[in-house]
């Protein structure tokens, strides 16, 4: 869960906040972890940010719920391995990093760190 990557790496994938030093994020309580069983997803809004949280094989991942291709909602898309497929035109993003991995999207989307504390899900939002 902790950030183990050197701070110098964050700029190379600027939306991948999971690579941030966690002291740069504010962790916001979302819901009890029991509300997000394996294979499910949870749609939330934190501030003005739409976010979808996935439970893939017991691991939680949070990404922005907006496709970088044409701003379509992304979170309802099919999940293939660790990729989510945009329902509109088929772009794919790595849920772990937000990286755009298939056309027509070429711009990464935000990926946020997720923690479970005392049975509750928290998502780390970068401090302004
Ligand atoms: S809006 Fe997602 S691929 Fe076009």
Long-range contacts of 97-102 (CB under 8 A, 24+ apart): 97/13, 97/16, 97/18, 97/19, 98/13, 98/15, 98/16, 98/63, 98/64, 99/13, 99/16, 100/68
Interatomic CA distance for residues 107 and 22, integer angstroms: 24
Q: What is the per-residue pLDDT for 14?
A: 52
Given a cut of 70, is residue 28 above it in pLDDT? yes
Entry pTM: 0.87
Interatomic CA distance for residues 90 and 83, integer angstroms: 11
Looking at every residue in the chain, the average pLDDT score rounds to 88
Instruction: Report pLDDT digits (tens) over 42-85.
Output: 999 998 899 999 999 999 999 999 999 999 999 999 999 999 99
Could you say which of 3.40.50.150, 3.40.980.10, 3.40.50.970, 2.102.10.10 is the CATH number of the domain covering 39-120?
2.102.10.10
Best probe residue, ligand 1, of 50, 66, 69 (max atoms within 8 Å of C-beta): 69
Using the mean position of ligand 1's atoms as its centre, give its distance from the Cα of residue 110 in Å.
15
Q: What is the per-residue pLDDT for 7?
A: 39
Residue nearest to atom 3 of ligand 1 (CA): 89
Instruction: Report pLDDT digits (tens) over 8-25.
Output: 333 334 578 887 777 888
**112 neighbors 123 (Cβ within 8 angstroms):** yes
Positive or negative, the CA dihedral 25, 31, 36, 42 is negative
Instruction: Identify which has the larger pLDDT, 48 or 30.
Output: 30
Instruction: Report pLDDT digits (tens) over 81-125.
Output: 999 999 999 999 999 999 999 999 999 999 999 999 999 999 999
Q: Strand pairing partners for 60?
A: 55
């Amino acid at each position: 869960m902790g950030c183990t990557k050197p701070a110098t790496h964050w700029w190379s994938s600027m939306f991948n906040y999971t690579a941030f030093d966690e002291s740069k994020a504010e962790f916001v309580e979302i819901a009890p972890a029991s509300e997000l069983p394996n294979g499910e997803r949870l749609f939330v809004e934190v501030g003005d940010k739409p976010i979808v949280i996935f439970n893939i094989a017991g691991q939680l991942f949070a990404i922005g719920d907006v496709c970088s291709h044409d701003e379509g909602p992304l979170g309802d898309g099919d999940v293939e391995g660790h990729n989510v497929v945009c329902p509109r035109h088929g772009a794919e993003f790595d849920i772990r990093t937000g990286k755009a991995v298939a056309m027509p999207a070429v711009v990464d989307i935000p990926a946020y760190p997720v923690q479970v504390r005392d049975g509750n899900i928290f998502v780390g939002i970068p401090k302004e």
